[in-house]
């Protein structure tokens, strides 16, 4: 019975994650730890597995529209994977209540950030590294036919990805919001490109820590299997039916719900 409730909750988490653009991990960790009272370390490990599954399964759709900057993704993965290794080493030592606190704060910030309005700032400058590695690219655009873009501040992007990797490993999330923020804001990538490139990288980042957690014994199939299968099904439903749902209303409702959950996580961390 409990297994099916967990499967159902994971489907809902995957659905909501894709609806809110947050990913399922950020919803499943509080669900497992607050609702099912699963230790947060097992919850984080299971969440990372589900991120690997959804990202690997969806990689083809991110590439299909020619929006993913593959060269940039490969370069930035150095930052995210190094960060994930650091995150794993911290996670081994950190006490559980700090994980709750960190997660609560992160969830609160992420929830607020889903409400921000992203604006496009295309750059005319190209960073020397971008020039050397051919990172500047273009994508098909309905308005202009083909939209060309440059890439700024590549070293800053690598550092930002390192911290995104630390958070991903420490909290069992994709940390796509921070990746997109760095790529939009600092590297001046077009919004569509930064979202697609971030989504493409998430699986590799999560793999670094998921593999380590698996070998350490923290990934338990009794939790990870229903969570992964549920989130894959939920994200698929979300991606296919997103257009038919008045997402703005639902988004506002769930922003409030996630805000409350984040406060609960903080309270649990402080207690």
Partner 1 sequence: MKTEQANDDNLLSLELRIAKLLRWGVLGAGTLMLFGWMSILDFSQNPLVKFHDYKEQSLQNSLRSIVENHQWGLLIAYAGLVLLISLPLLRVLMTGFLFVQRKERILAFAAFFVFVLLILSFTLGIEL
Binding positions for partner 1, rule: CB under 8 A: 1-3, 6, 36-39, 41-42, 49, 52-53, 55-57, 59-60, 62-64, 66, 68, 70-71, 74-75, 77-78, 81-82, 84-85, 88-89, 96, 132-134, 136-138, 146, 148, 203-204, 207-217, 219-226, 228-229, 232
Token code pair at residue 242: 């997103």
60 or 249: CB nearest partner 1: 60
**What is the C-alpha radius of gyration for the chain, rounded to an integer number of angstroms?**
18
Q: Residue 152 in contact with residue 131, Cβ under 8 Å?
A: no
- The DSSP secondary-structure symbol of 243 reads G
2 or 248: CB nearest partner 1: 2
54 or 110: CB nearest partner 1: 54
Nearest Cα residue to 161 out of 144, 136, 138, 181 = 181
Shortest gap between Cβ of 180 and partner 1 (angstroms)? 20
Shortest gap between Cβ of 104 and partner 1 (angstroms)? 19
* Helices 2-20 and 247-270, axial angle in degrees (round to 10): 120
107 or 206: CB nearest partner 1: 206
**Element counts in the chain: helices (H) and strands (E):** 11, 2
Shortest gap between Cβ of 240 and partner 1 (angstroms)? 15
Number of Cβ atoms within 10 Å of the Cβ of 82:
16
């Amino acid at each position: 019975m409990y297994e099916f409730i967990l499967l159902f909750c994971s489907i809902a988490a995957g659905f909501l994650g894709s609806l809110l653009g947050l990913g399922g991990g950020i919803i499943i960790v509080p669900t497992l730890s607050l609702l099912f009272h699963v230790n947060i370390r097992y919850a984080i490990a299971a969440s990372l597995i589900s991120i690997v599954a959804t990202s690997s399964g969806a990689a083809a759709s991110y590439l299909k529209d020619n929006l993913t900057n593959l060269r940039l993704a490969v370069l930035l993965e150095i930052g995210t994977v190094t960060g994930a290794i650091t995150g794993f080493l911290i996670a081994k030592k950190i006490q559980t209540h700090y994980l709750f606190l960190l997660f609560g704060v992160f969830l609160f910030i992420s929830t607020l950030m889903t409400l921000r309005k992203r604006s496009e700032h295309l750059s005319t400058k190209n960073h020397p590294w971008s020039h050397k590695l051919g990172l500047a690219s273009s994508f098909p655009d309905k308005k202009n036919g083909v939209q060309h873009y440059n890439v700024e501040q590549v070293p800053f992007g690598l550092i930002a990805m390192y911290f995104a990797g630390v958070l991903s490993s420490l909290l069992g999330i994709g940390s796509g919001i921070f990746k997109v923020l760095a790529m939009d804001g600092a590297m001046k990538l077009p919004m569509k490109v930064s979202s697609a490139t971030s989504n493409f990288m998430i699986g590799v980042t999560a793999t670094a820590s998921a593999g380590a957690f698996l070998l350490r014994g923290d990934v338990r199939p009794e939790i990870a299997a229903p969570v992964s299968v549920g989130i894959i099904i939920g994200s698929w439903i979300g991606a296919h039916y997103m257009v038919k749902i008045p997402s703005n209303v639902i988004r506002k409702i769930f922003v409030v719900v996630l805000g409350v959950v984040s406060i609960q996580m903080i309270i649990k961390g402080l207690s």
